[in-house]
């Protein structure tokens, strides 16, 4: 018995059958006793198959039917005489305890038929239509038309006891969703257990590793529950089954070469099987059949086993597990070292993209609109290790914005490069570098490089990309280039050297790291900044990061400077300080080393936070009407008098506080309203709570600012 798709008219493997819940019926049908009165009631979800019944079976332990065993019943309508038999397979507690046996149309009944030597009556053909065996009344009808007509006929004849609603699982074709019909059919099967055993061993021993590792569990589940594989298909396209039949003596010959003579009777009346192999049977040979196996070609030696196989989890069993089994069985070697399982791309609501839903996104359209690098960047950035991606068109904007950022950084370097006389060479040691921002950016470069390298090795591609993104956007563009601009404005030769020996090489190295993620923009930039006639960036060797450049102290010092600049910028924003107004800074801190770091880098602070004067020391006092920022071991005061119109700012802040308090009141009233809570979806309620927290935080901040303004 095989799984048969009446639409595709082919057998399917067990794994190609999908399962669906279906609302159907249980029909209770009387089978009258051949002799005397009485009947046996049998329940079925597929009444049309009763036309192929060849017995009624009960459990040997079932007392209710003991006296009937060995007697016969009449099959309704067709009036075939059916024996009543006992079989251990029958569950006395299920249905009426008596089951109809249809050996040609049910896998379990097939086995019962074998045990009891029952006839096999085929009533449904390969296109799902009723055969002549089904009787004149039903011959030629579709199986479901037959079902309706048969039930009506049983009812008319008083042979239907009752009908019950019943939800059950049906098998459907994985390609066309047609209801699978179990059919009696000659097919080729492959015995899989010995192959699975080798595959299990290889993965258990760590010869093949899954990323993410959780998929190994699924792999083992499939392998440990493997069933024989129905590999023949009644289709036109595919590898033809390599089996020949001798018309003279009936010998069956399986052979890799086309045989000419029968090995038994030597006749030449051989005919090849007309079936083809399951598509997956061809696919599982892919890792070595593409390399001209079984010949031991140079390609085979070089490429087999390969390093990584990348695939979606939906074909973990169909393809990946089978390639592992085939490789180990036929070549004696695993086909690959690592399996990287990606997530699936779904729509914003988490639904699979399908034609019928019309929720697909055409990648070519996105490439046209945002650029190929942007599309590639966004997809990788969104793919958290093996998890599905909820995708929308807007998500590609991230990639485009990043590409623009990279291009602008490149243009800045190119422009500045033309202004300075090239001299010096790449820095080889961190210790010799004078400027903190230079030491810092090189340290960040090498630690980013280290992170990206580690993440690459763990197949955490989005984390590798994220590290490079943060480095390039925030460390390099937001901080380093801003500081460098200022240094170059001073036109000192030291800054020119930094441009040529630190800024450019750092950017070039970043392009190399970024190349696998954004191949086009990085190649274009590479060709423009690499020495004339350079090879493609694709074949450069980025080499390895150097621990010598990773300088914890420089990163700590720079972070302190960044914190100060960041806090001043914050205060300026919150207090509405006009950008042109230069502020004053008072820093109270008793740590001499920190004060020393600040003193040495006042230039950075002046330039990047609009400060013109800094007073600092352990005994500084907070002046009246100044904003306060606290960072570890340090208090920073910014006097506001002279920067802003205190009276107006006080009014503005008071108004803002009043507005926020109003909002808070209205949210609170919503959240205490039972009607609202009942009707609003959970995520809306959650959003309201979040808003409440944010507004309350803002009110507190603004009130502190108000207090600062009120101080005398
Ligand atoms: Zn089908
Ligand atoms: Zn022969």
- Is residue 574 within 8 Å of 701, Cβ to Cβ? yes
- Spatial separation of the C-alpha atoms in residues 197 and 218, rounded to whole Å: 15
- The DSSP result for 236-289, as a single string, is SSSPBP-EEEETTT--EEE-SS---S-TTT--S-EEE---EE-HHHHHTTHHHH
Residue 424 has pLDDT above 70, yes or no: no
- Spatial separation of the C-alpha atoms in residues 179 and 7, rounded to whole Å: 9
pLDDT of residue 179: 93
Same domain, 484 and 430: yes
Residue 429 has pLDDT above 80, yes or no: no
Same domain, 593 and 532: no
pLDDT tens, residue by residue, 523-557: 999 998 877 677 899 998 888 899 989 999 999 99
- Is residue 26 within 8 Å of 95, Cβ to Cβ? yes
Which numbered ligand comes closest to the C-alpha of 9? 1
Question: Sign of the C-alpha dihedral, residues 669, 671, 672, 676?
Answer: positive
For residue 233, the CA-to-ligand 1 centroid distance in Å is 12
- Spatial separation of the C-alpha atoms in residues 83 and 102, rounded to whole Å: 13
* Of 398, 423, 558, residue with least CA distance to 504: 423
- Is residue 403 within 8 Å of 525, Cβ to Cβ? no
pLDDT tens, residue by residue, 431-442: 578 889 999 999
Same domain, 319 and 416: no
The 3-class secondary structure across 339-372, one letter per residue, is: EEEECCEEECCCCECCCCCCCCCCHHHHHHHHCH
Phi, psi of 593 (to 5 degrees): -65, -35
Residue 146 has pLDDT above 90, yes or no: yes
Q: How is residue 96 written in tokens?
A: 């009426």
Confirm whether 523 is domain-assigned: yes
pLDDT of residue 198: 97
Burial class (CB in 10 A: 0-12, 13-18, 19+), 259: middle
For residue 461, the CA-to-ligand 1 centroid distance in Å is 38
* Arithmetic mean of pLDDT over the chain: 91
Question: Sign of the C-alpha dihedral, residues 521, 522, 525, 528?
Answer: negative
Same domain, 578 and 674: no
For residue 188, the CA-to-ligand 2 centroid distance in Å is 20
Same domain, 177 and 279: no
Same domain, 524 and 558: no
Confirm whether 387 is domain-assigned: no
Confirm whether 385 is domain-assigned: no
Q: pLDDT over 90 for what percent of the chain?
A: 66
For residue 253, the CA-to-ligand 2 centroid distance in Å is 9
Q: For residue 401, give every residue at least 6 positions away whose Cβ sits within 8 Å of its Cβ, in sequence order, or none.
A: none
pLDDT of residue 428: 58
- Spatial separation of the C-alpha atoms in residues 212 and 580, rounded to whole Å: 53
- Is residue 61 within 8 Å of 45, Cβ to Cβ? no
For residue 602, the CA-to-ligand 2 centroid distance in Å is 98
Confirm whether 373 is domain-assigned: no
Three-state DSSP class for 72? strand
- Is residue 457 within 8 Å of 544, Cβ to Cβ? no
For residue 531, the CA-to-ligand 2 centroid distance in Å is 74
Confirm whether 357 is domain-assigned: no
- Spatial separation of the C-alpha atoms in residues 522 and 511, rounded to whole Å: 5
For residue 177, the CA-to-ligand 1 centroid distance in Å is 6
For residue 236, the CA-to-ligand 1 centroid distance in Å is 14
Place of tokens 């190649």: 523
For residue 126, the CA-to-ligand 1 centroid distance in Å is 12
Burial class (CB in 10 A: 0-12, 13-18, 19+), 694: exposed
Widest Cα–Cα separation across the chain: 117
For ligand 1, an ion, list residues with CB under 5 A: 5, 7-8, 173, 175-176, 178
Same domain, 422 and 512: yes
Which numbered ligand comes closest to the C-alpha of 264? 2
Residue 631 has pLDDT above 90, yes or no: no
- The count of domains in the chain is 5
Residue 408 has pLDDT above 90, yes or no: yes
For residue 243, the CA-to-ligand 2 centroid distance in Å is 13
* Of 317, 235, 232, residue with least CA distance to 281: 232
Q: What would the mean pLDDT of 364-391 be, rounded to a whole number?
A: 93
pLDDT tens, residue by residue, 158-189: 999 999 998 888 999 988 899 999 998 889 99
Tell me which of 591, 615, 644 is where a domain ends: 644
For residue 1, the CA-to-ligand 2 centroid distance in Å is 28
For residue 280, the CA-to-ligand 1 centroid distance in Å is 16
More confident call, 84 vs 707: 84
For residue 175, the CA-to-ligand 1 centroid distance in Å is 5
For residue 14, the CA-to-ligand 2 centroid distance in Å is 34
Per-residue pLDDT band for 628 (boundaries 50, 70, 90) equals confident
Same domain, 24 and 167: yes
* Of 652, 646, 663, residue with least CA distance to 697: 663
- The DSSP result for 322-335, as a single string, is HHHHHIIIIISS-S
Which numbered ligand comes closest to the C-alpha of 250? 2
Per-residue pLDDT band for 14 (boundaries 50, 70, 90) equals confident
For residue 126, the CA-to-ligand 2 centroid distance in Å is 30
Domain of residue 695 covers 647-710
More confident call, 558 vs 623: 558
Q: How is residue 48 written in tokens?
A: 């049309």
pLDDT of residue 425: 59
Looking up residue 175, the CATH number of its domain turns out to be 3.90.740.10
Three-state DSSP class for 231? coil
Which numbered ligand comes closest to the C-alpha of 8? 1
Which numbered ligand comes closest to the C-alpha of 246? 2
- The DSSP result for 457-473, as a single string, is HTT-HHHHHHHHHHIII
Q: How far is CA 290 from CA 286, 295, 322, 331, in A?
A: 6, 11, 16, 13
Tell me which of 543, 575, 600 is where a domain ends: 543
Which numbered ligand comes closest to the C-alpha of 248? 2
Tell me which of 543, 577, 594 is where a domain ends: 543
Q: How is residue 116 written in tokens?
A: 């009891």
Confirm whether 253 is domain-assigned: no
For residue 23, the CA-to-ligand 1 centroid distance in Å is 21
Same domain, 175 and 195: no
Q: What is the CA radius of gyration of the chain?
A: 39
Same domain, 491 and 635: no
For residue 273, the CA-to-ligand 2 centroid distance in Å is 15
For residue 268, the CA-to-ligand 2 centroid distance in Å is 8
Same domain, 176 and 224: no
Confirm whether 352 is domain-assigned: no
Confirm whether 626 is domain-assigned: yes
Question: How far from chain centre, in Å, is Cα 302?
Answer: 31
Cβ count near 705 (within 10 Å): 21
- Spatial separation of the C-alpha atoms in residues 183 and 609, rounded to whole Å: 80
- Spatial separation of the C-alpha atoms in residues 358 and 13, rounded to whole Å: 30
Which numbered ligand comes closest to the C-alpha of 251? 2
Which numbered ligand comes closest to the C-alpha of 177? 1
- Spatial separation of the C-alpha atoms in residues 635 and 631, rounded to whole Å: 6
Residue 386 has pLDDT above 80, yes or no: no
Q: How is residue 127 written in tokens?
A: 């296109």
pLDDT of residue 678: 87
What residues pair up with 550 in beta bridges, in sequence order? none
Q: How far is CA 440 from CA 55, 428, 436, 474, 488, in A?
A: 86, 14, 6, 13, 18
Backbone dihedral region for residue 3 (phi beyond 0: left; psi -120 to 50: alpha; all else: beta):
beta
For residue 262, the CA-to-ligand 2 centroid distance in Å is 5
Residue 490 has pLDDT above 80, yes or no: no
Same domain, 287 and 313: yes
Cβ count near 251 (within 10 Å): 15
Lowest mean pLDDT among 14-23, 470-479, 526-535: 526-535
- The DSSP result for 121-151, as a single string, is ---B-TTSBB-GGG-TTTTT-BHHHHHHHHH
For residue 258, the CA-to-ligand 2 centroid distance in Å is 15
For residue 259, the CA-to-ligand 2 centroid distance in Å is 12
Looking up residue 703, the CATH number of its domain turns out to be 1.10.287
Three-state DSSP class for 636? strand
Looking up residue 498, the CATH number of its domain turns out to be 1.10.730.10
pLDDT of residue 513: 95
pLDDT of residue 413: 92
Q: Is the ipTM above a cut-off of 0.90?
A: no
Per-residue pLDDT band for 397 (boundaries 50, 70, 90) equals very high
Residue 574 DSSP symbol: H
What residues pair up with 171 in beta bridges, in sequence order? 19
């Amino acid at each position: 018995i095989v799984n048969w798709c009446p639409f595709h008219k082919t057998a399917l493997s067990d794994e190609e059958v999908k399962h669906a819940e279906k609302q159907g019926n249980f029909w209770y049908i009387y089978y009258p006793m051949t002799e005397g009165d009485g009947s046996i009631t049998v329940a079925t979800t597929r009444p049309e198959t009763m036309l192929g019944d060849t017995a009624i079976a009960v459990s040997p332990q079932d007392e209710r039917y003991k006296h009937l065993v060995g007697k016969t019943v009449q099959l309704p309508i067709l009036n075939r005489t059916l024996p009543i038999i006992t079989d251990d397979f029958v569950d006395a507690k299920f249905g009426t305890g008596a089951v109809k046996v249809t050996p040609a149309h049910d896998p379990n009944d097939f086995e019962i038929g074998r045990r009891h030597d029952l006839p096999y009556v085929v009533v449904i053909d390969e296109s799902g239509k009723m055969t002549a065996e089904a009787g004149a009344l039903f011959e030629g009808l579709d199986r479901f038309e037959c079902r309706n007509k048969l039930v009506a006929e049983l009812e008319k004849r008083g042979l239907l006891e009752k009908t019950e609603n019943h939800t059950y699982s049906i098998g459907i074709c994985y390609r066309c969703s047609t209801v699978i019909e179990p059919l009696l059919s000659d097919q080729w099967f492959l015995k899989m257990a010995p192959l699975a055993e080798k595959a299990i061993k290889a993965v258990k021993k760590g010869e093949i590793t899954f990323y993410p590792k959780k998929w190994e569990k699924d792999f083992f589940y499939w392998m440990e529950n493997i069933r024989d594989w129905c590999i023949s298909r009644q289709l036109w396209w595919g590898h033809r089954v390599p089996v020949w039949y001798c018309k003279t003596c009936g010998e069956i010959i399986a052979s890799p070469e086309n045989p000419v003579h029968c090995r038994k009777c030597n006749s030449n009346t051989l005919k090849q099987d007309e079936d083809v192999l399951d598509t997956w049977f061809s696919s599982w040979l892919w890792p070595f059949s593409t390399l001209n196996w079984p010949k031991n070609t140079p390609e085979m030696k070089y490429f087999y086993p390969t390093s990584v196989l990348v695939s979606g989890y939906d074909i973990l069993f169909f393809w990946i597990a089978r390639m592992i089994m085939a490789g180990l069985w036929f070549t004696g070697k695993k086909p690959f070292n690592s399996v990287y399982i990606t997530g699936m791309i779904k729509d914003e609501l988490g639904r699979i993209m399908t034609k019928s839903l019309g929720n697909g996104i055409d990648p070519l359209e996105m490439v046209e609109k945002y650029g190929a690098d942007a599309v590639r960047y966004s997809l990788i950035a969104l793919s958290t290790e093996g998890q599905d991606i909820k995708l929308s068109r807007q998500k590609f904007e991230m990639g485009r914005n990043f590409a623009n950022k990279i291009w602008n950084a490149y243009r800045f370097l190119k422009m500045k490069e033309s202004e300075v006389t090239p001299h010096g060479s790449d820095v080889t040691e961190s210790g010799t570098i004078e400027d903190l921002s230079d030491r810092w950016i090189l340290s960040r470069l090498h630690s980013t490089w280290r992170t990206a390298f580690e993440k690459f090795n763990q197949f955490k591609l989005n984390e590798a990309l994220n590290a490079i993104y943060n480095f390039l956007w925030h460390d390099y563009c937001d901080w380093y280039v801003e500081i460098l601009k200022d240094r170059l404005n001073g036109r000192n030769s030291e800054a020119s050297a930094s441009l040529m020996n630190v800024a450019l090489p750092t950017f070039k190295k970043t392009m190399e790291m970024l190349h696998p993620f954004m191949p086009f923009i990085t190649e274009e930039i590479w060709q423009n900044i690499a020495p004339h006639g350079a090879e493609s960036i694709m074949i450069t060797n980025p080499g390895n990061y150097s621990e010598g450049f990773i300088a914890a102290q420089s990163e700590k010092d720079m972070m302190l400077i960044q914190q100060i600049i960041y806090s001043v910028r914050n205060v300026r924003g919150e207090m509405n300080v006009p950008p042109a107004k230069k502020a004053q800074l008072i820093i109270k801190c008793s740590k001499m080393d920190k004060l020393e770091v600040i003193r040495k880098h006042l230039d950075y602070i002046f330039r990047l936070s609009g400060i013109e004067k800094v007073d600092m020391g352990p005994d500084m006092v907070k002046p009246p009407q100044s904003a306060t920022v606290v960072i570890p071991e340090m208090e920073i005061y910014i006097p506001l008098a002279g920067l802003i119109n205190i009276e107006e700012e006080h009014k503005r802040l008071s108004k803002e506080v009043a507005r926020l308090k109003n909002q808070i009141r209205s949210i609170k009233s919503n959240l205490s309203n039972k009607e609202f809570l009942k009707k609003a979806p959970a995520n809306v309620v959650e959003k309201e709570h979040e808003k409440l927290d944010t507004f309350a935080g803002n009110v507190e901040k603004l009130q502190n600012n108000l207090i600062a303004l009120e101080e005398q």
